[in-house]
Chain A
Amino acid sequence: MKLKPSKEDIVKGNIELFGNKQIIIDGCKGVVDYNEDYLKLDLGKIMLKVTGRNLVIDSYIYEQVDLKGEIVSVEFMN
């Protein structure tokens, strides 16, 4: 069992959450799955899943995703 995460396991980039209305994710390598209720992003070594309601990608530029809507959960997946 690993106690400390290795350098490769650490997600590069920033994630900013503004209440439950907006999330800005930096270092996005691509959109894996997207609809009104959830967004799954490829962050390189790890996946990020944001679930919510009426999710709208306000902008997607230079590996940065600005997502707006009613956010319910943010989840990291391997």
Chain B
Amino acid sequence: MIINLLRLILGFVEFEAKGGFPERFLNLCTVNGITLWQVQNDGVKVKACTSIKAYKNIKKSARNSGMKVKIIRKRGFPFFVKNNRARVGVLVGISLVVLFLAMSSCMLWNIEVSGNTRIKSEVLMESLNNNGVRIGVLKSKIDTIAVQNELLDEYKDLSWVSINIFGTKAVLEVKENSEKPEMEDDKTPMNIVAGKDGQIVLVEGHKGTNIVKEGDVVVRGDLLISGVTLNSDGSEKTTHASGKVFAKTITDVYGECDTKSSGDVLKSSGYKYYLYALGGEIPLFLKCKGEKLYKGENLLKSTSGELPFGVKWEFLGEFQKTEIEFTENQSAFLSLLNCVNEKRKNFKDECEISKISYTKNSTEDKVEVKCQVVAKENIAEEKEIFVE
């Protein structure tokens, strides 16, 4: 296989020899140092292959054995170049492709990060980039051990780092430290009190003595589950009360919006394109103004993932300060949005909203919205019992 490839690169000729003594011709060729291969004798003529240089010396052996040689076919790179001398562009193109393939196989095409859960892959990629491991860099210039040590020094959360280079792909494998579990404090004596006014719907007492029952009305700060429990002998002991107390609550949230406002309005926009290859970017634009709003990329894909070739783009926008006047309905809508944001702050996760009603109050320059939210929510709040 390799020998055949070498023969093709160096070039060879396929020839036939007729008449005379074929055996003598073969012996003379060997004596004169002419290498022959694929020798076939069909009784009439001998067919064989030899190198270009050897063929030039073959005439002497042919003459001495009474044979006449004739070229059947010329094969190999030198003949290809000779036949395509007029097509210089094609030859230059082929040479450039070969050169490019040879060069690019020495570079890094792809970087993968695996094993991370808390530290983001983008952050690790950025660190790799800062330490010289980036797409397009020569593989021989990467000092994997030094980069591994740098990463271990930089991120205290990492307990193990390994960089492996497979072909043109670098794989960063990491192991993160186990997080210290948070210890729940269940020793400090605590009461459960109401965090909001409301009517009790459900009491789930896990520890302590339930003070309220379903249907009771409580105000903020009322004791719901007591951390003081009675022993069988009548003595008292304090404990860390825990549990959930669900109540029907009514919460007012407010939102307002000015009818006149000033803001940035998009005046003009456009795309900026870059040709991307092996970490380098070639801009494909002449003039493009504005600030970068977002960016994206369309890279070529192979079966093993994305290739470092493609087009990257940025969306640019130019803004202008403009006075904006809202209609009453628009202002009311924006006020409601503000209410929603306010509501998110006031309510916990365990909350089931049953009814929302709102009233709006419009003046000349602003619209105020008052929302009344009826919900079933957990109002339990821990409060420490101070014991002397």
The answer on a CB contact under 8 Å between A60 and B41 is no
Interface presence of A9 (CB below 8 A): no
The answer on a CB contact under 8 Å between A56 and B42 is no
Considering only residues 157-195 of chain B, those with a C-beta below 8 Å from chain A are none
List B contacts of A32 (CB < 8 A). 23
Considering only residues 4-41 of chain A, those with a C-beta below 8 Å from chain B are 30-36
Known: A31-B26, A31-B27, A34-B26. A59 touches B35 (CB 8 A): yes
List A contacts of B37 (CB < 8 A). 57-60
The answer on a CB contact under 8 Å between B26 and A60 is yes
Interface presence of B22 (CB below 8 A): yes
The answer on a CB contact under 8 Å between A60 and B42 is no
List B contacts of A35 (CB < 8 A). 41-43
Which residue of A has the minimal Cβ distance to B42?
Answer: A36
The answer on a CB contact under 8 Å between B27 and A56 is no
Cα-based distance from A30 to B30 in the complex (angstroms): 9
Q: How many residues of B contact A (CB 8 A)?
A: 16
The answer on a CB contact under 8 Å between B39 and A61 is no
The answer on a CB contact under 8 Å between B40 and A36 is yes
Considering only residues 53-73 of chain A, those with a C-beta below 8 Å from chain B are 56-61, 63
User: Tally of A-B residue pairs with Cβ under 8 A?
Assistant: 47
List A contacts of B43 (CB < 8 A). 35-36
List B contacts of A60 (CB < 8 A). 26, 29-30, 35-37, 39
Binding site secondary structure of chain A: strand
Interface presence of B38 (CB below 8 A): yes
Which residue of A has the minimal Cβ distance to B29?
Answer: A60
Q: A39 CB to closest chain B CB, in angstroms? A: 9
Cα-based distance from A56 to B27 in the complex (angstroms): 16
Which residue of A has the minimal Cβ distance to B22?
Answer: A34
Considering only residues 256-307 of chain B, those with a C-beta below 8 Å from chain A are none
List A contacts of B26 (CB < 8 A). 31, 34, 57, 60
Q: A57 CB to closest chain B CB, in angstroms? A: 4
Known: A30-B27, A31-B27. A56 touches B22 (CB 8 A): no
List B contacts of A58 (CB < 8 A). 37-39
List B contacts of A57 (CB < 8 A). 26, 36-40, 48
Task: Give the interface centre of A31, A34, A56, A58 by most chain B CB atoms within 10 Å.
Answer: A31
Q: A52 CB to closest chain B CB, in angstroms? A: 13
Known: A35-B41, A35-B43, A36-B40. A61 touches B35 (CB 8 A): yes
Q: A33-B23, A36-B43, A57-B36 are in contact. List 9 more A-B contacts (CB 8 A).
A: A30-B27, A31-B26, A57-B40, A58-B37, A58-B38, A58-B39, A60-B26, A60-B29, A61-B35
Closest 4 CB pairs of A and B: A57-B39, A30-B27, A31-B23, A59-B37
